[in-house]
Amino acid sequence: MSIPSWTYIEVVMRILVSIVVAAGIIASVLLSGSSLLSAEATAEATVVESSAPVPSEENVSVVISETSTSAVAATSGIAITSTDREAATGRWGLDRIAVSAAWDSVSSFRPVLVAVLDTGIDPNSSIANRVKAGIDFTGGGNTDDEHGHGTHMTSTIAAIAPNASFINLKVADARGRCDSLTVAKAIRWAADRGVQIINVSLEVEPSDELSSAVSHAWQMGAIVIAAAGNGGTTTPTYPAAYVNAIAVAGTNQNDGLTVMSNHGDWVDVAAPGSTINAEIPGGEFGNETGTSPAASHVSGVAALLYGVALDVSGNGFVNDEVRSAIEENAMPVAIDGLGSGIVNASTSVLAIAA
């Protein structure tokens, strides 16, 4: 059995976390500045202003309909620009998964729509113009990011996939609290409106509603990409562990596990999740560590793949082709419990675009 590659600092962190958990201080919270957990905060969804006014759910549906791409009908592609390359500079995670090489392997990528289920997205961020609509599922009355987590996740996806536009589905409050039913509602809402990728960088309690929503998304041609969680165990977490979701563990710069990353035979792939630098509210950049940013890396790769994939199976969707490309072209690592290994954007795009 392989031994996880942990640094001295990570070992110390694990010991400290064990002490804190034993004291019962964070018995219900995952350790990571970028991870969210369940709490009782359900609410009906309301449409609020995002980067542009969205006065009704009907208008949101129109926006999504115009932005989404068919599995069989190609639309005009989006070419990678020098601005995109500049935005990717200095992000070690993008380098590790060969994003630049993936960009160079094709001439352009079709536009793709990504739903980010999180704490919201900063309306004043540099990626605000790519946020097509915002829905508040928390009852707070806005889709602003009062926590910082959602903006950070979206920033990473946006840096990897310049062809991605976003639907901001706020399911967690300013303290990062959310619950299973709210997440299930948001997943189903997104799937029913043609969103292709649903990024869920959080963990909630398993439920029949959540399992059904993840399966429904898959049946509608979408992929739920979820963080494996930061408990440092092999215990499955949800929605990541559902068979129709892609469960993502986190790795560090040495291809070892990030601090407290969950792992196990239920994990599908891994991605960079240690000291990930991305935009946060206020026009600044900050670092996050955990499986949350790891999941956002995979969602970015998935967005590139949706931008070039063809419906080879003939089922009317490309989510099966995209998932196969992600898992079959991952880079194996000498650690048990990381599924197929670390995602590789370049080999995945080459495989699916061939």
Helices (H), 222-337: 291-306, 319-328
* Separation CA 274–CA 260 (nearest Å): 11
Q: What is the pLDDT of residue 34?
A: 34
Q: Which of 18-27, 68-77, 206-215 has the lowest mean pLDDT?
A: 18-27
pLDDT score at 244: 98
What mean pLDDT is predicted for residues 197-216?
Answer: 98
CA–CA separation, 240 vs 202, rounded Å?
9
The answer to whether the bond into 239 is cis (omega within 30° of 0) is: yes
> How many distinct structural domains can be found in the chain?
1
pTM, rounded to two decimals: 0.85
Under 8 Å between Cβ of 254 and 5: yes
How many angstroms separate the Cα of 325 from the Cα of each of 1, 11, 128, 329, 347?
Answer: 27, 34, 30, 6, 8
Identify the weakest region by mean pLDDT among 5-14, 82-91, 247-256, 323-332: 5-14
Lowest mean pLDDT among 40-44, 98-102, 153-157: 40-44
Residue 216 lies in a domain: yes
Q: For 152-193, how does the pLDDT look when each residue is reduced to its tens digit (9 = 90+)?
A: 999 999 999 999 999 999 999 999 999 999 999 999 999 999
Q: What is the CATH number of the domain that holds 329?
A: 3.40.50.200
Asked if the structure places residue 324 within a domain, the reply is yes
Give domain status of residue 151, yes or no. Answer: yes
Range from 66-70, 101-105, 180-184, 339-343 carrying the lowest mean pLDDT: 66-70
Q: What value does the CA radius of gyration of the chain take, rounded to a whole number of Å?
A: 18
What is the pLDDT, as a whole number, of residue 354? 72
**Is 2 part of any domain?**
no
Least confident window among 46-55, 57-66, 75-84, 180-189: 46-55
Q: Is 164 helix (H, G, I), strand (E, B) or coil?
A: strand
Q: What is the mean pLDDT of residues 141-148?
A: 96
pLDDT category at 204 given cuts 50, 70, 90 is: very high
pLDDT score recorded for residue 60: 54
Q: Is residue 203, in this structure, part of any structural domain at all?
A: yes
User: What residue numbers bound the domain in which 148 lies?
Assistant: 8-353
In a domain, 3, yes or no: no
Q: Report the C-alpha gap between 102 and 33 in whole angstroms.
A: 30
Task: Provide the angle, in degrees to the nearest 10, between the axes of the packed helices 345-353 and 291-306.
Answer: 20
- Each residue of 218-267: pLDDT tens digit? 999 999 999 999 999 999 999 999 999 999 999 999 999 999 999 999 99
Whether 342 is in a domain gets the answer yes
Q: With 90 as the cut, is the pLDDT of residue 147 above it?
A: yes
The predicted pLDDT at position 76 comes to 75
Top-confidence residue, 6 or 58 = 58
Q: What pLDDT shows up at residue 324?
A: 98
Residues tagged active-site: 118, 149, 292
